Amino acid sequence: MMKEFYDAATRIRSDVLSRWKDTGGNVVGYTCSYVPSEIFHAAGILPYRIRGIETESMEIADAYFGPYICTFPKCVLQLAGKGKYDFLDGAIITPGCDSMRRLDECWRKAGDAIPGIVPSFFYYFDVPHKSIGHGTRWFREEIVNLIKALENQFGITITDEKLNASIRLYNRARRLLKELEDLRAKDAVVISGTDAFAVTMAGTAMPREEYTEHLENLVASLKKKKAKKDERKRIMLIGSISDDISLVDLVEQSGKAVVVTENLCFGVRDEGNEVAEEGDPVDALAKAYLGESTCPRMYGKYKERLATLSAIIRRSNVDAVVMQNIRFCDLHGSENGLFERDLEKEGIPCIRLEREYGPLVETGRLRMRIDAFFERLESQRPHKENVYSMEAV
């Protein structure tokens, strides 16, 4: 069962993706969790979250981006330039941050020198930085325009009935992921953080029907699993975009800790909010995808994001928080500093890690800092016996 999840989570072109293409299916890649996947499913298209794994060098990306920028979009451009994304029938770029916005222009420019790397459908999907008032109306208009563009490009019709059916299917998987998070929150650990992250990652690269079936089987089997209370430190992982399960594994390698929850762009974070199944499906998608301010790109909602983290910490009985950001990630780098200040005040030990992505990652340095942090935790009384005890929740 886990084999299918790991295959989809750790390879750019997995077996399930190859089968989809072999049967004539279209694949459209997207770069941001604010893009509603239900739209593609309703169109009969496989939505595929564009990733940076498998990058081995940066010679193409360095020519277009330069050195002082987040290495995630650089890795995506490098992979595109090397033909790793030749299976895409379309790509949608979103300004999750300014570095990702630049991916749009750099990918297009690289296409002038490297023929064939820009898909025939290459679309810029804008996302407001505020969710109230004009922001939601603007976002709804962006969704409508995207639907029209897909219909024109692929010669299809996306009806409200199809959208509603897709919303119901995606909500089914969201409820299953919520059950998985409930299981991870218990004292008896039935799944490692590395395995759980592979499961959520796979959901961004598999046909939803197949993914949901595997997810149902996994959750059912975990509910039957017998496990004793785990004495390892319970860790929450947050911060910059990460599609590499080795980062989670790095935290767990020492055997002293287990990642019991995370708040990452590729993780379960954005799967937790169900979309309304009644009324106008476009309205429902706009409100659900833009309404929750889980990303620091959204303006003026730091207190709400802190409250969300605190609630997850209490729910999962977290001992400590590992905060990571990719170098030159101003959004997460700045907000992690605020989180560290405020969570440490509440008695939650935190560590901030600045890292590179892709071929420049410094695994040894990160492991040394993580091990030193765990030694600090061992010398302290576990906070969950006082501030965040489960009895107090």
Task: Give domain status of residue 178, yes or no.
Answer: no
Q: Is the pLDDT of residue 283 over 80?
A: yes
- Residue 112: pLDDT over 90: yes
* Partner residues linked to 352 by β-bridges: 323
The answer to the question of residue 70 being in a domain is yes
The angle, 0 to 180 degrees and rounded to 10, between the axes of the packed helices 208-224 and 193-202 is 160
- Within 82-159, where are the H helices? 98-113, 134-154
Residues 340-368: tens digit of each pLDDT: 999 999 999 999 999 998 878 889 999 99
The 10s digit of each residue's pLDDT in 56-110 is 999 999 999 988 999 999 999 999 999 999 999 999 999 999 999 999 999 999 9
The predicted-structure confidence for 218-232, as pLDDT tens digits, reads as follows: 999 999 999 888 999
In a domain, 132, yes or no: yes
d(CA 198, CA 63): 32
Residues in the chain: 393
Q: What is the pLDDT of residue 389?
A: 39
Q: Which domain holds residue 76?
A: 14-159
Q: State the pLDDT at residue 270.
A: 62
Residue 225: inside a domain: no
Residues paired with 321 in a beta bridge: 236, 350
Count: domains in the chain: 1
376 inside domain: no
Q: Is residue 119 part of a domain?
A: yes
For residue 66, the domain's CATH number is: 3.40.50.11890
Give the rounded percent of residues in the chain with a pLDDT score beyond 90: 85
CA 374, CA 351: separation in Å to the nearest integer? 10
Q: Which amino acid is at 375?
A: E
Dihedral (C-alpha) 57, 64, 35, 316: value to the nearest 10 degrees? 50
Q: Letter for the amino acid at 287?
A: K
Residue 20, in any domain of the structure: yes
In a domain, 112, yes or no: yes
Angle of helix 245-252 relative to helix 363-378, nearest 10 degrees?
40
Q: How many Cβ atoms are within 10 Å of 168's Cβ, its own excluded?
A: 13
Q: Write down the pTM of the prediction.
A: 0.93
Q: How far is the C-alpha of 177 from the C-alpha of 327, rounded, in Å?
A: 30
